[in-house]
Amino acid sequence: MGHRPIQEPPELAIKLAGGYPFRQVERLIRDLDPLATLETPCQLRLDLGGLAFIGASGLAWLIAVVRRAEDLDLIHGGSVVMPRSPLTRHYLMRMDFLTTLDLATVDDEPFDRHQAIGFRPCRRYRDDASCHSVVRELTEALTESIETDDVARVGIRICLDELAENVIFHADTALGGFVIAQRLRRRPEFEIAIADLGIGIRQSLQKNPDFADIRDDVTAIARALQPRVSSTPERNGGFGLAVSKLLLAANGGTLVVRSGNGMVQTGAREHKQRQPIALPGTLIALRARTDRPLNVQEVYRHLKDDFDARMRERGLLDED
């Protein structure tokens, strides 16, 4: 009786071409969906030859979905075709794209690694120690790019700590989180991206009986953006997203949260939408203007107004 030939796993070809700036993240989520939802082993061919541009949020999501497939042992062989554009190729190398992945090694190519001012390459974190380390780097990158005082610096650090810790304490994934910080060269903007492939915001909030009735992702994200909303109120105050939203609104920036089928944008522009493709996890993008300061005093005023309004509703504070 002859031996059956060993059957190679099928090839999964992912091709990214053109530009994936911040406003094109939905197109990237669609193009990466076969990989983000992969359940059976494959040989991965990641073709970035025609890639012209990818922003911080897009790159964080790209790395996160490839690492998920690698960690789950779903990639049995594969390769990366690097961008033909030298600028794009060198950008990926500066952001440590290849060193983050385990796909087929590409020959080293010399390039100038500039001092990391206003940007930090992709970093992965899976525990408290690495989480606080990457938050320190993100805070440094932000304060290198935007005018802040000592109070604002502390407030920003607390916000980023809570946002990054959400992956460890709420996402229910051993894969960890991925962060990138980048200052744009041609526009007065700075972006921080935090990505994970956990259970998502809606399922996380539903652990708290107060939010067990939430049935759609847009509503879940909108609730998570409110102060004191958390799946574990006994552990944290639920202020990370809420304060980030207020900080960016005062600065003229935007905060975008994408989870499941939901997308909510707040800040200088407000927008909510149910998206056709579910994102398995959470992608958070914080985009601040670099030509305006981050004003923590304005945030404190908003939080006090919100607190006073709640107290008045309960009859615990007299009307002015």
Average pLDDT over residues 1-19: 82
pLDDT at 235: 59
Average pLDDT over residues 7-28: 93
Question: For residue 188, what pLDDT band results from cuts at 50, 70 and 90?
Answer: very high
pLDDT tens digits for 205-227?
999 899 999 999 999 999 999 87
Domain match, 317 and 177 both: yes
Average pLDDT over residues 56-70: 95
Domain match, 163 and 220 both: yes
pLDDT at 190: 94
- Calculate the alpha carbon distances from 174 to 36, 67, 124 in Å: 16, 12, 12
Assigned domain for 2 exists = no
Domain match, 28 and 139 both: no
pLDDT at 309: 64
Name the percent of the chain lying above pLDDT 70.
Answer: 85
Domain match, 50 and 132 both: no
Please tell me which residue, 270 or 282, carries the higher pLDDT value: 282
Question: For residue 303, what pLDDT band results from cuts at 50, 70 and 90?
Answer: low
Domain match, 100 and 121 both: no
Domain match, 76 and 161 both: no
Tokens of 74: 């779903």
Domain match, 127 and 79 both: no
- CATH number assigned to the domain comprising residue 275: 3.30.565.10
Assigned domain for 3 exists = no
Assigned domain for 129 exists = yes
Domain match, 151 and 253 both: yes
Domain match, 121 and 99 both: no
Q: What is the DSSP string of 53-120?
A: EE-HHHHHHHHHHHHHHHHTT-EEEEEEE--SSHHHHHHHHHTTHHHH--SSPPPP--------SSEE
Domain boundary among 60, 83, 107: 107
Assigned domain for 1 exists = no
Domain match, 76 and 133 both: no
pLDDT at 37: 96
Assigned domain for 265 exists = yes
| Residues 201 and 221 sit within 8 Å (Cβ to Cβ) | yes
Range of the domain at 23: 9-107
Question: For residue 233, what pLDDT band results from cuts at 50, 70 and 90?
Answer: low
Name the percent of the chain lying above pLDDT 90.
Answer: 58
Q: What is the DSSP string of 112-131?
A: -----SSEEEEEEE-SHHHH
pLDDT at 176: 94
Assigned domain for 72 exists = yes
| Tally of domains within the chain | 2
pTM, rounded to two decimals: 0.89
pLDDT at 205: 93
Lowest mean per-residue pLDDT among 253-257, 259-263, 283-287, 313-317: 313-317
Domain match, 83 and 168 both: no
Using the predicted structure, report yes or no on whether residue 71 has a pLDDT greater than 90. yes
Domain match, 143 and 267 both: yes
Domain boundary among 60, 84, 107: 107
| Residues 223 and 211 sit within 8 Å (Cβ to Cβ) | yes
Cα 63 from Cα 70, distance rounded (Å): 11
- CATH number assigned to the domain comprising residue 92: 3.30.750.24
Domain boundary among 107, 132, 165: 107
Please tell me which residue, 97 or 65, carries the higher pLDDT value: 65
pLDDT tens digits for 73-132?
999 988 899 999 999 998 998 888 887 777 755 555 666 666 678 889 999 999 999 999
Assigned domain for 101 exists = yes
Question: For residue 45, what pLDDT band results from cuts at 50, 70 and 90?
Answer: very high
- In which residue are the tokens 């909108």 written? 222
Beta bridge partners of 190: 183, 288
Please tell me which residue, 113 or 137, carries the higher pLDDT value: 137
Using the predicted structure, report yes or no on whether residue 156 has a pLDDT greater than 60. yes
Using the predicted structure, report yes or no on whether residue 299 has a pLDDT greater than 70. no
Assigned domain for 4 exists = no
| Residues 178 and 52 sit within 8 Å (Cβ to Cβ) | no
